Amino acid sequence: MRRAGIGLVVSLLALVGVVMASAATSATKFEIALKGPNESPAAPASNKGTVELTLNAKTGRVCWEFKLGQIDGKPNQAHIHKGKRGVSGNIVVPLGAGYKRQGCTTASKALVRSILKGPAGFYVNVHNAKHPLGAMRGQL
C-alpha cells in the first residue's frame, strides 16, 4: 500500500513537470539591445537600454520589461513595429497605452506566430518628446 502511494506521488510530480515544461516552451524570450543610433533619424548614441520581450503564440500574450540605461527625455511610448533593420514600419503591438516599464498585453495569435516566424522583420522602440519617431530601437 505504501509503495502504491509513493508511486502515485512520483507519477503526479512527473505529470506536473511535463505540464510546466510544456507551458514554458510555448513562450519565446528575446533580450533586445536598444540604441539611439539604430533609429531613423538617429537619436543620440547615449540613448541605450534593453528590453526582455516574451511572446506566447498559444495565447497571444506579449510581455515586456524595459531597463533603460539612459534616455534624453522622459519615455512616453513603446511599441513593436514591423520593419527590417534600418527600415521604419507600422506599429503592430503597442506596449502599454503610454510608456510602462513592464507589463503584458495580448495580440492576435496569428500576429505573434508571424513575429516568431520572422523576428528579424520586427523591432522594438521607445519614444519620447524629443524623438517622437523613436529615441532608441532594437531588432528582434
What is the C-alpha to C-alpha distance for residues 116 and 8, in angstroms, rounded to an integer? 38
Give me the number of domains the chain comprises.
1
- Asked if residue 13 belongs to a domain, the reply is no
Task: Answer yes or no: is pLDDT of 14 > 80.
Answer: no
- Asked if residue 76 belongs to a domain, the reply is yes
For residues 3 and 133, the model is more confident at: 133
- Asked if residue 33 belongs to a domain, the reply is yes
- Asked if residue 95 belongs to a domain, the reply is yes
- Asked if residue 3 belongs to a domain, the reply is no
- Asked if residue 16 belongs to a domain, the reply is no
- Asked if residue 62 belongs to a domain, the reply is yes
Q: What average pLDDT does this structure show over 115-140?
A: 97
Domain span holding position 40: 27-139
- Asked if residue 7 belongs to a domain, the reply is no
pTM of the model: 0.81
